[in-house]
Structure 1
Amino acid sequence: MAVDTAVIGTEFEPVDITVDAARLRFFAKAIGETNPVYTDVEAAKAAGHKDLPVPPTFLFSIELDSPDPFAWLSDLGVDLRFVLHGEQAFTYHSIAYPGDTLTAKSTIADVYSKKGGALEFFVKDTAVTRADGSAVADLKSVLVVRNPGVGK
């Protein structure tokens, strides 16, 4: 498959979630987070928070709530068996807490290939905001697609 740069600028339907304390605790446990600030409200308050703060990488999971979070890749003809997670970056603007309704709005920011097309890269930028429009974070993810038939 050849990278089609025409997809740059493609925007996805926003994904909304309302942050739930039980989900934050589950996420913290799933990633092996041991800091009680992410699981115990009293520890969070003692650290200066009003409630459990959203763990740093939790925001990446918002889009996984959509019915088929990787449909956009399939729609582009990408064989999901050859997709690798290449990079993830977060720029935080504020802390989210239980009760906050968050919206993740993503755009394909770039596509490019390396090694003669053997590796293709999709860069996706995501803005996470609260219901009032205030910024929570900007996320950047890079997915790598390995094309096993290229370069052999």
Structure 2
Amino acid sequence: MIDKAFVGRVLPRFEVLAECGAVSAFLRATAAPGCQAAQEGSQLPPTYLFCLEMQGPDPAAMRKLLGIDIGRVLHGEELFVYHAPAHVGDLLAFEPRIADIYDKRAGELEFVVRETRVWRGETAIATLRNTTVVRNG
């Protein structure tokens, strides 16, 4: 069982630049209608903040901290709450924390909820919630 004492634990803050080339590749890969190349200052696609979060120094930091075997992991859900738009060329700060840990089916499934606040300077951009499901059966 994952130790619920980790609830509330804040992971290291990091910054990522929303680079034009990477955003353009994302747009092509997701076949965004009418948009094949990003331009400096254009608004980021709605789910792109998750891609930026995965560019942090250690995308597996939470999983390592909690001792979770990647072979038992399922993607649960994601939720994006936007407070302000983010743009190509923005330097964004990500502040992840473990928001909740709970189980179902007598521990056969464990759920870890990571909540990440995203900032551009002093401006709150978004709150990302990601639920990881761990199979124990």
Whether 2:17 is the aligned partner of 1:24: answer no
Deviation at 1:75, TM superposition (A): 2.8
Count of matched residue positions in the alignment of Structure 1 and Structure 2: 137
- SS, match of residue 63 in structure 2: helix
Provide TM-score, normalisation by structure 2. Answer: 0.91
Question: What CA deviation, in whole Å up to 9, does each residue of 1:58-105 have, x standing for no partner?
Answer: 101222112431132123221110111101000111111122110110
Deviation at 1:120, TM superposition (A): 0.2
Q: TM-score, normalised by structure 1?
A: 0.83
Residue of structure 1 in register with 2:70 after alignment = 80
| 2:124 paired residue number | 135
Residues 40/100 of structure 1: CA separation in 2 closer, same or farther (3 Å cut): closer
Residue 37 of structure 2 is matched in structure 1 by 39
Query: Which is further off, 67-76 or 105-114?
Result: 67-76
**2:43 counterpart (45, 48, 53):** 53
Q: Structure 1 residue runs of 4+, over 3 Å off?
A: none
1:70 corresponds to which of 60, 80, 100: 60
Aligned to 1:115: 105
RMSD, matched Cα: 1.7
Identity %: 36
Q: Which amino acid in structure 2 is aligned with residue 68 of structure 1?
A: D
Q: Distance in 1 between the 2:116 and 2:81 partners?
A: 10
Gaps of 5+ in 1: 42-49
Q: CA deviation at 1:14?
A: 1.2
Structure with more of its chain in strand, by fraction: 2
CA-to-aligned-CA distance 1:91-141 (integer Å, 9 cap, x gap): 1111111221101101100000000100000001110000x2101111111
Cα distance in 2 between the residues matched to 1:135 and 1:35: 29
- Larger-Rg structure: 1
Partner of residue 2, structure 2: 3
